Amino acid sequence: MDNLYAAPVLLEHLKQKEEDYVIISPDAGGVERARAYAKRLGASLAIVDKRRDAPNQAQAMHIIGDVKDKVAVVIDDMIDTAGTMCAAANVLMDNGAKDVMACVTHPILSGPAIQRLEESVFSQIVVTDTIPLDEERKKCSKIKQLSVASLLAKAINNVHTESSVSVLFV
């Protein structure tokens, strides 16, 4: 399930608070995904320009776009070791974001991820339950897990009734 398919669940969470959001792509590959979120929220868009020194190690360089005094929401399809996410969050705060949060579809959370997230500047990391969190990961105070069950139920119903499934994601 790509992040855009989990978008209705994550967007609903973001819409619960009226904030001046700027949607962040943590890399060039995620720009299309971040742009789709920004459009649906009526928010601006920014991109983290980074270089990868080695696998699972990223060094964020600078921000393309304006994040000053806004709630920066980093959008990604998965979070593994959290190195890229945490580096992006630091750069966002250094560039004047008033708060930084993340919305991620798949919480892999391997290796040092939990410790990195706990020590990070993120106020919240919103994930879906496409990958269940074990007891250790549930203890992370910054993680909020949302269920995709109702979205999947609607999709199954639409298939069963021969209705459009794509309407759920547009």
| Gap between the Cα atoms of 52 and 2, Å rounded | 23
* Catalytic annotation present for 50: yes
Q: Which of 15, 17, 50, 139 is catalytic?
A: 50
CA–CA dist 136, 119 (Å, integer):
15
| CB neighbour class for 115 (10 Å; exposed up to 12, middle 13-18, buried from 19) | exposed
Residue 141 in contact with residue 118, Cβ under 8 Å? Answer: yes
Q: At 129, list the tokens.
A: 């339950």
Which stretches does DSSP call E strand in the chain? 21-25, 44-54, 57-64, 71-79, 99-107, 124-128, 143-146
Decide if 20 contacts 48 (C-beta within 8 A): no
Identify whether the C-beta of residue 69 lies closer than 8 Å to the C-beta of residue 20. Answer: yes
The catalytic residue positions are: 50
